[in-house]
Structure 1
């Protein structure tokens, strides 16, 4: 029996679909009932028999800090995919991030130990990786984390979660950690992540920042996770990225896939510095949620490179081309847009 946490998220829902398509027995944890519709939406992209697949999932409503319900979820489980996380770069969400990402992962690890789980796969992020000594040097799995650096609250808690997983490996649990870049996949157009990028560009995003980051297709993430879990590889981490790309080129490629005007104004570091300060002021005065933090502004203006050679060598893994992934996700976006308008 396989347990998937975060089953209603982008990675979790695609992972569930793939596992069910292979006739695996699965349990999945969710937090709010309305999010279950997201899973059905994702399943409908790939199969007409949505109900048949969906009804084979043993759903368990549980919070990552609700130990009694989590203990119920672990009954008869042999393998765990821990996909659940809270994603936010808002500094005032730090305590919530710690509770879900670090404490929640510690609970999952402890239950893996208590239930003699055969293997755990944890979905981390490139945000949790250390930094290369020079900007032109790609970051690898062995790059040193610097706690003295001005890290984002999200990065800090994802790194803290990784430490909990490594603790588990010292206490008898075999585990693998994946560090994906920005994950591209359909079905989550308004809930943050890459889906909201497609929505923003379709709605007429005008500005592009100067920085770069790394991207990966959701199906590549799902495939790599399962291959690592089925392999003899244990207690290792792997960067999952298809390509390092400037944000400007990424946005232009998305705009072309959606047949809309590309962003044509550069968001300079100075402009972004003004923008995040205004965003902070708007939050303090009117209580609005932060849309642009200082860390986010710094991130999207920095040129960061990541090295994916380890997963390629370990599994002979080949990634989906970034342009193909964007076109594919864009086609689902346009289909959904036409159906809702």
Structure 2
């Protein structure tokens, strides 16, 4: 049996569909507050309502938190393969401790139980955020060295710490593949993560910014995860990026697919600093902070990534991001009516 953590998220829900279509027996973890209906909604994008319901009902749901070891002990019974997708994504400094607990301690718990239950293989979903910086504007590869002296976000630090736990598991006998996706684009979660971009452009986004980053479609991501798990590959890490695009280009492509005006105003660094100041003041009164010093700096830095290793390993061709945006926008318009 296969265990999937983070089964109700963007990656987890698409992965569950892939696995179930392949006839796999799956147990998926969810928290008490999780919206299981969101998973069936994802299934409905890609198949008929009848088939979506049939596949959804095959999932063995298990309520557990990855920081709760007693719950996880029960969840791991009869498990042979693990896809660890669960993580907290936040850039609010107030979430520092929570990021470390969920992303690092939670991953350590998963690895410890993989060892205890003699799991046959693990796939851990990390992030390009856990990679080192680019040198001389060259594309970043899996060999980029993490420099602890660099200005990293708390999220990046937590994902790097989680990777250390994953590599520790390889030393304790757990064959592991680590995937490092770029910014993941896909449908179904319009009020969180990258889904908010489609919502904000639909409602009228005025500003763009020049940062170049790596993007990948969620369907490519989960397909590669499954292929890596089923291949005779172990103890390797792979960057999964379809294309390096500027956010201006990404916003323009999204606006075109949604039949909305393209953001015309260029965001200036002083504007972001001003936003940082207002949020910092608001933070003293309990307001959520999404802009940090790190955010201000990285918004104007380019990060280009190389997917050469995964392309050569699995002879894989990524879906062009224009096609990914087109499909995602189509589902957005369908959902919003």
Structure 2 residue 192 is matched with structure 1 residue 162: no
What is the deviation of 1:33?
A: 4.3
Equivalent residue, structure 1, for 2:199: 199
Equivalent residue, structure 1, for 2:311: 312
What is the deviation of 1:324?
A: 0.5
CA displacement, residues 62-82 of structure 1 (integer Å, 9 cap, x when unaligned)? 011111111111111100000
Equivalent residue, structure 1, for 2:182: 181
With over 3 angstroms needed to count, the CA separation of the structure-2 counterparts of 1:34 and 1:108, relative to structure 1, is closer
Partners of 1:34 and 1:85 lie apart in 2 by 14
Structure 2 residue 123 is matched with structure 1 residue 124: no
Q: TM-score w.r.t. structure 2 length?
A: 0.98
Structure 2 residue 91 is matched with structure 1 residue 106: no
* SS of aligned partner of 1:178: strand
CA displacement, residues 209-237 of structure 1 (integer Å, 9 cap, x when unaligned)? 12111100001000100110011111010
Q: How does 1:171-250 map to 2 (within 5 A)?
A: 171-191=172-192, 193-250=193-250
Note if contact 1:210-1:268 (Cα within 8 Å) is conserved in structure 2.
no
Partners of 1:86 and 1:325 lie apart in 2 by 24
Moved more, 320-329 or 289-298: 289-298
Partners of 1:273 and 1:242 lie apart in 2 by 31
Q: How does 1:88-99 map to 2 (within 5 A)?
A: 88-99=90-101
CA displacement, residues 98-128 of structure 1 (integer Å, 9 cap, x when unaligned)? 0000000000000000111110000001111
What is the deviation of 1:24?
A: 0.6
Note if contact 2:82-2:123 (Cα within 8 Å) is conserved in structure 1.
yes
Equivalent residue, structure 2, for 1:139: 140
What is the deviation of 1:133?
A: 2.0
Partners of 2:135 and 2:43 lie apart in 1 by 43
* SS of aligned partner of 1:237: strand
What is the deviation of 1:51?
A: 2.1
Equivalent residue, structure 1, for 2:78: 76
* SS of aligned partner of 1:301: coil
Q: What stretches of structure 1 of length at least 5 have no aligned partner?
A: none
Partners of 1:277 and 1:153 lie apart in 2 by 19
Equivalent residue, structure 2, for 1:325: 324
What is the deviation of 1:38?
A: 1.2
Note if contact 1:89-1:295 (Cα within 8 Å) is conserved in structure 2.
no
* SS of aligned partner of 1:149: coil
Q: How does 1:52-63 map to 2 (within 5 A)?
A: 52-63=54-65
What is the deviation of 1:298?
A: 2.1
Partners of 1:11 and 1:186 lie apart in 2 by 10
What is the deviation of 1:130?
A: 0.8
Partners of 1:187 and 1:296 lie apart in 2 by 26
Equivalent residue, structure 2, for 1:153: 154
What is the deviation of 1:46?
A: 1.4
Note if contact 2:8-2:34 (Cα within 8 Å) is conserved in structure 1.
no
Note if contact 1:244-1:306 (Cα within 8 Å) is conserved in structure 2.
yes
* SS of aligned partner of 1:35: coil
Equivalent residue, structure 1, for 2:293: 294
Structure 2 residue 230 is matched with structure 1 residue 253: no
What is the deviation of 1:34?
A: 4.2
* SS of aligned partner of 2:150: coil
Moved more, 69-78 or 274-283: 274-283
Q: What stretches of structure 2 of length at least 5 have no aligned partner?
A: none
Q: TM-score w.r.t. structure 1 length?
A: 0.96
What is the deviation of 1:32?
A: 2.8
Partners of 1:81 and 1:100 lie apart in 2 by 16
What is the deviation of 1:317?
A: 1.0
CA displacement, residues 246-297 of structure 1 (integer Å, 9 cap, x when unaligned)? 110110100001000111111011221121121221222x321113222223
CA displacement, residues 2-21 of structure 1 (integer Å, 9 cap, x when unaligned)? 00000000000000011111
Partners of 1:111 and 1:298 lie apart in 2 by 39
